[in-house]
Structure 1
Amino acid sequence: MLPTCLKSIHEIAASQWDALLTDAQPFLRHAFLSALEDSGSVGGRTGWQPAHAVLLGEQSQLLAAMPGYVKSHSYGEYVFDHGWADACHRAGIDYYPKLLGAIPFSPVTGQRVLGESQAAGQLLDELSAGLEQQGLSSLHINFTTEAENALLQGRDGWLQRLGCQFHWRNRGYRDFQDFLDALSSRKRKQMRKEREQVAGQGIEFDWREGHQLSELEWDFVYLCYANTYRVRGQSPYLTRAFFSLLAERMSEMIRVVLAHQAGRPVAMAFSLVGGDSLYGRYWGCLAEFDRLHFETCFYQGMDFAIANGLQRFDAGAQGEHKLIRGFEPVITHSWHYLCHPGLRAAVANFLAEEQHGVRGYAEDARGLLPYRQG
């Protein structure tokens, strides 16, 4: 049994792929991955060529799998290896193309290598052994779970990298005021003031599920999403068609909050729900409003999580400004197999130092949380 890399997720049945998922997270579902491909958000000239790795049994049953992409750049990954690529360029070593096991444009921890541990381990070993033969410099797996960390720990040639994100935990709050009561007086007043400033501008909020938005409203959602890139002189990763396809294929997992002023939509935040978690993914506005970002992206999500009994709110990568609003530091993991021995040795030394810094950063960040002591 040797692994095969599929050029499209459609080469495997959705029922087979989804049967390997062990949690309710939306991003690894066949519907999500197929929406990326069918909308043109990956494939073509995007630099994300689907190469989903699968290991099949003697009866063609799916034993193990990994969502995979051959990359000709490092954009949209949120585990930054541009420095490694630059070092390779200076040394005359080809860093691209590389193979990436990840969910495009989604820095969310979750399953990456699917299947029982023995089959998953075989898939990993065969993939890493065949990289050079396929003209690939490396294999990277981003935002792995504890189970995958255990699978990769100590595996020959693999290097672990740490990162830090900020997630909000619902500790059984009855409502948003109950959450505020857990904060220090100064931080509680600051958050209350921020929410009052938004309300004082006449802005109201409306939560919708995926099937409750018209195509015209999806046009608005996309316009807001794309605007967050265009104001920085960048092109958006996702196409307009992605949102409609996702609403068609997994609308029950979509949550969009629309911000209105005088009945006119002015901003939105797009999220997905899965299991006990809310995943804030995209946001955008068409005009500047004081504190609207914090309300739309953070406080509305907290309110929603409390009201719906969700235990965790992952509002996206980066953002130290989340700390003072109660989002706690969380260590993330990625794994890297680099074929060139010199590059592997240099990166190993770098990661040893970086890991120490990341853990220290996360510990220091805990000291900035707004919760009352004791």
Structure 2
Amino acid sequence: MPDGSDGVTVRSIRGIGEIAAADWDACAGPDNPFCAHAFLSAMEDSGSAATASGWSPRHLLIERPDGGVLACAPLYVKGHSYGEYVFDWAWADAWHKAGGRYYPKLQCAVPFTPVTGPRLLVHPAWRQRGLDAALAEAMTSLVDQAGLSSAHVTFSTQAEAEALAARGWLLRMGEQYHWTNQGYGGFDDFLGALSSRKRKSIRKERERASSLDVRIHTLTGDDLRPAHWEAFYRFYLDTIEKKWSNAYLTRDFFFRLGETMADRVVLIMAEKDGRWVAGALNLLGNDTLYGRNWGADGDFRYLHFEMCYYRAIDFAIANGLKKVEAGAQGEHKLSRGYMPIPTWSAHWIADPSFRRAVANFLGEERRRVSESIQELSEGGPYRHSDPCGE
């Protein structure tokens, strides 16, 4: 155990409800809404992330003898790789062909949420005591004790991932697209930073969206009503059906989100002839707007760009936010002012030979991702230097 923390204990719990919200949030901090007790509770209590859906909670706690929580980590035992967005299906297949068993595994993550944030959550008063290392050690011990194949800390901060890599974990780099506020006074200021061609293209898209005869509302806090969530869940299912994907999130999840985190929800909804026809769900951090889900009833061309990207930028500028994170994947975001940035994860592979194979793969993958980010940034939509500021 780290120096200066004699008498503390490490234990795992089988659900976020086993720890008081105030204790968890004191470690998680206020910056990232997805790390909040309320968000994880909405995931678990709604059945979206629960044992029945293949996410068995094993959250880690480091506690004083009097029960005070010094550190924690969102942790799940998983029998599949769905809902993670850091893809390891090929690893699982290769290990299976070699006679190994990849599942179950440990996943330190926020379920169904490809958003960077802290994963090793340490109370501010104890951040210099090495408790993040103690959480990592507890994960590897659990892998050994339970006979699991591996542990994965995904969409962590870069500092966390690099600290884990220094302890022998394998470092993985991914890629997302984020918009950065360069102190713009309004949307036109942002457009002025773009090349002429991109500026004209965005204006044309916004004009076409405004010609669709829909009214767009930005809703948060007390503006949110059950009817909004009923409609949005319908949009969510429609998107899932179009993508031939799985509906990970239940109807109850969205309603719980509205009940417990309304002030951190920014729901952009489109209305036509008195009926809700499209919606984009965002969550609000201290300095960042996080885009999450989108859906629509019908084919409203250009409305997706308007509601998911441009209205998010409008909101960020109006509220003095530093960034908009638009979620996983999508080079089409580049032409709309969202620049490529690296994302990070760290992986502990128990078997030495399997570990070497994964390490070789990740070394080559990091090189390719780094080259892609550099190439896309150099060919970005801005007139001058890359304004990513990451």
Confirm or deny: 8 A CA contact 1:211 1:247 kept in the other structure: no
Aligned match of 1:7 in 14, 24, 30? 14
Alpha-carbon shift at residue 257 of structure 1 (Å) = 0.7
Q: Which moved more, 1:225-234 or 1:277-286?
A: 225-234
Q: Secondary structure at the match of 1:133?
A: helix
Q: 1:245 Cα deviation (Å)? A: 1.0
Distance in structure 2 (CA, Å) of the matches to 1:208 and 1:15: 27
Separation in 1, partners of 2:341, 2:19 = 34
1:371 corresponds in structure 2 to: 382
**What is residue 287 of structure 1 aligned with on the other side?**
298
* Superposition deviation, residue 204 in structure 1: 2.2
Q: CA deviation at 1:2?
A: 4.6
Aligned to 2:237: 226
Residue 129 of structure 2 is aligned to residue 122 of structure 1 = no
Equivalent residue, structure 2, for 1:301: 312
Instruction: Report the TM-score, using the length of structure 1 for normalisation.
Output: 0.97
Offset of residue 59 of structure 1: 2.1
Q: Distance in 2 between matches of 1:126 and 1:241?
A: 33
Count of aligned positions: 373
Counterpart of 2:58? Answer: 51
* 1:110 Cα deviation from its structure 2 partner: 0.6
- Determine if contact 1:2/1:126 at 8 Å carries over to the other structure: no
Counterpart of 1:131? 143
Match of 2:4 in 1: none
The answer to whether the Cα contact below 8 Å between 2:51 and 2:57 also exists between their aligned partners in 1 is no
CA deviation after TM superposition for structure 1 residue 193, in Å: 0.5
The percent of aligned pairs where both chains have the same amino acid is: 47
**Quick check: 1:3–1:127 contact (8 Å CA) kept in 2?**
no
> 2:290 is paired with a residue of what secondary structure?
strand
Shift of 1:210: 4.1
Counterparts of 2:353 and 2:102, CA distance in 1: 13
The separation in 2 between residues aligned to 1:217 and 1:326, in whole angstroms, is 29
Given candidates 163, 169, 172, the residue that maps to 1:161 is: 172
Question: Which among 130, 148, 153 is matched to residue 160 of structure 2?
Answer: 148
Name stretches of at least 5 consecutive residues in structure 1 with no aligned partner: none
Residue 248 (structure 1) aligned with residue 259 (structure 2): yes
Give 1:174 shift. Answer: 1.1
Contact 1:257 1:296 in 2 (8 A): yes
Q: 2:41: which partner in 1?
A: 34
Larger displacement relative to structure 2 (7-16 or 205-214): 205-214
Mark the CA change 1:324 to 1:292 in structure 2 (over 3 Å): closer, same or farther. same
Deviations 1:148-194 (A, max 9, x none): 134313103x1000011110011111111111111111111100001
State the 1:233 CA deviation.
Answer: 2.6
Distance in 1, matches of 2:138 and 2:269, equals: 47
- Give 3-state SS (helix, strand or coil) of 1:87's partner: helix
User: Once the 2 structures are TM-superposed, how far is the Cα of residue 23 of structure 1 from its aligned partner?
Assistant: 4.3
In the alignment, is residue 341 of structure 1 matched against residue 367 of structure 2?
A: no
RMSD: 1.3
Report the AA paired with residue 209 of structure 1: T
**Contact 2:15–2:57 at 8 Å: present in 1 too?**
yes
Label 1:147 to 1:282 Cα distance change in 2 as closer, same or farther (>3 A): same
**1:5 positional shift:** 1.6
Q: Which amino acid aligns with 1:113?
A: L
1:146 Cα offset (Å): 3.4
**Alignment match, 2:182:** 171
Partners of 1:226 and 1:235 within 8 A in 2: no
**Deviation of residue 356 (structure 1)?**
0.6
